[in-house]
Amino acid sequence: MIPGQKTDYFLSFMDRDEPLTPAGRLFLQPETSQIINCLIGVKNPIDADAFKAEVKNSVLLKHPRFCSLMVKHSSGREYWRRTEVDVDRHVLVFDKPLSDDPSISDEDSVNDYLADLSVSSPLNTDKPLWEIHLLMAHNCLVFRLHHALGDGISLMSMLLSCCRRADDSSQLPTAGGVGTSSTPRRRRSLWTLMKVVWYTLVYVLEFMLRSLWLKDKKTVVSGGAGVELWPRKLATAKFRLDDMKTIKKATTDATINDVLFGVLSCGFSRYLDIRSPKALGEGLKLTGAAMVNLRPQPGLQDISKLMNNVSGTRWGNKFGMMLLPIYYHKGGSNPLEFLKRAKSMIDKKKLSLEAPCSYKLGHFVMSFFGAKLASILNYRILCNTTFTISNVIGPREKITVVGNPVTYIRANSTALPHAITMHMVSYGERADMQVLVAKDIIPDPQVLVRCFEEALLEMKDAAAAASKT
């Protein structure tokens, strides 16, 4: 070695560069690059100086991922390298309204802004891969975080660690969802174990075929290769959790996710009836790609455990992909049938090991064949399915950010080959679902959102009527 010259290995050792995880490398590939946009609305005007001061003292800047540049060594491998964070470069203040048209509401202006961000605004790599946009005229802020930093659960848990409970400003928002990792597992019968093996084999085989040639039938909501580059529109579907709980009670052992997929199936059926020029076959299959949290505890995580990698609750991208189909059925039938069909499908999926197997398969391909092939296979799965769906359980109590009451929490990601991506986040007694569409394929996302909202209300009325009989 020439005196004074440092090899990449020595440089990595001296500067403590940390290699990206396989999943992190996947999200840096052009085909699968993703940025998560988390929108938080607040009740009162934002104090930009106070907000910056809060960020400087927050746990956000104590986490190495948020204080590191993404660098590429001469070997071609990506690493995290610690750096000084200039908060003024990360917290961007926008004083003027996003639109000069008084007929456009605040919500529509912000949604249009997020839709533009989803296709045209990558994060600069000369600073850590996150930004916060303060939209002063609209009383809201947008957290933009690269998916290489972590998955939705990690990032949402980190963001909410910067918030406080509205009823007690000394307390963090309650982490976790409707269940905990301490719930005892029931012993499974031989028949159940046989079903686990069968469903796993069937679903993993379909998963692999989706990365090759198996695809959904073409409809008016189908995307495809290159659609991620098309202009976008964004609309918000608003649900009351009490309505979803009422519907849930209409079917034994149903969950909120069962209700969500029943609503999606019913809503898509309504929309296809409106938009399709030809009659569709009963039972037409539309396949969704859902990201499933693989940590022991569902929902938001304790940020201290995430940062210390305690009990398997580690920071990063810890999720598997699951293919969840919904089916077209012509209007006029009992809306609760959509819930029953959704529950039957999801029960089989939950019994299988599809999500952990997809995670292991992805890790295997990344480790032995590289990020390029893994990204191509993931991209083909998205091209061969119809939509993306995610559901994150948010805080159950009202919260504040820098003492300012939070009115809503919403999330979406940058565009995918799907013509429609949906991300639902619950907060308090409501759940908002951001519906991002390719506007040249779905020019009227407000109509689609209305189909979902009306489907929920129709299912609620049917559930209430059924409970009285």
Exposure class string for 356-375: b at 16+ Cβ within 10 A, else e: ebbbebbeebbeeeebeebb
pLDDT given at position 367 = 85
* CB neighbour list of residue 405: distance below 8 Å, 6 or more residues apart: 42, 43, 44, 166, 398, 399
Q: pLDDT tens digits for 148-158?
A: 888 877 777 78
Polymer length in residues for the chain: 469
pLDDT given at position 296 = 61
Are 7 and 118 contacting, i.e. CB atoms less than 8 angstroms apart?
A: no
Instruction: Measure CA 28 to chain center.
Output: 17
Burial of 425 (0-12, 13-18, 19+ CB in 10 A): buried
* CB neighbour list of residue 373: distance below 8 Å, 6 or more residues apart: 365
Look-up of token digits 């069937």: 202
Instruction: Identify the CA nearest to 257 among candidates 185, 314, 194, 178.
Output: 178
Interstrand relation of 430-438 and 232-240 (parallel, antiparallel or unpaired): antiparallel
pLDDT given at position 363 = 87
Structure tokens at 167: 């009823």
> Which one-letter amino acid corresponds to residue 85?
V
Are 440 and 320 contacting, i.e. CB atoms less than 8 angstroms apart?
A: no
pLDDT given at position 181 = 40
The 3-state secondary structure of the chain, one letter per residue: CCCCCCCHHHHHHHHCCEECCHHHHHCCCCCCCCEEEEEEEECCCCCHHHHHHHHHCCHHHHCHHHHEEEEECCCCCEEEEECCCCHHHHEEEECCCCCCCCCCCHHHHHHHHHHHHHHHCCCCCCCCCEEEEEEHHHCEEEEEEEHHHCCHHHHHHHHHCCCEECCCCCCCCCCCCCCCCCCCCCCCCHHHHHHHHHHHHHHHHHHHHHCCCCCCCCCCCCCCCCHHHCCEEEEEEEEEHHHHHHHHCCCCCCCHHHHHHHHHHHHHHHHHHHHCCCCCCCCCEEEEEEEEECCCCCCCCCHHHHHHCECCECCCCCEEEEEEEEECCCCCCCCHHHHHHHHHHHHHHHHCCHHHHHHHHHHHHHHHHCHHHHHHHHHHHHHCCCEEEEEECCCCCCEEECCEEEEEEEEEECCCCCCEEEEEEEECCEEEEEEEEECCCCCCHHHHHHHHHHHHHHHHHHHHHHHHC
C-alpha to C-alpha distances, 269 to 218, 421, 445, 469, nearest whole angstrom = 15, 17, 15, 27
**Whole-angstrom distance, CA of residue 181 vs CA of residue 176:** 10
Catalytic residue among 146, 147, 329, 418: 147
Instruction: Going residue by residue through the chain, which has 469 residues, state the pLDDT in tens, using 9 for 90 and above.
Output: 344 444 443 344 335 788 888 888 888 888 888 999 999 999 999 999 999 999 998 888 888 889 999 998 877 788 999 999 999 999 999 999 998 888 899 999 999 999 999 997 889 999 999 999 999 999 999 999 998 888 877 777 788 888 888 988 888 887 554 333 444 456 678 888 999 999 999 999 999 999 999 999 999 999 999 999 999 999 999 999 999 999 999 888 999 999 999 999 999 999 999 999 888 888 999 999 998 888 665 555 555 555 555 545 566 677 889 999 999 998 767 899 999 999 999 999 999 999 999 999 988 998 888 889 999 999 999 999 999 999 988 888 899 999 999 999 999 999 899 999 999 999 989 999 999 999 999 999 999 999 999 999 999 999 988 877 7
pLDDT given at position 31 = 86
Burial of 390 (0-12, 13-18, 19+ CB in 10 A): buried
pLDDT given at position 302 = 54
pLDDT given at position 180 = 38
pLDDT given at position 2 = 43
48: left (phi over 0), alpha (psi -120 to 50) or beta: alpha
Interstrand relation of 91-94 and 130-135 (parallel, antiparallel or unpaired): parallel
Write down the mean pLDDT value for the chain.
87
Q: Please indicate whether residue 147 is annotated as part of the active site.
A: yes
pLDDT given at position 461 = 93
pLDDT given at position 183 = 43
Are 78 and 180 contacting, i.e. CB atoms less than 8 angstroms apart?
A: no
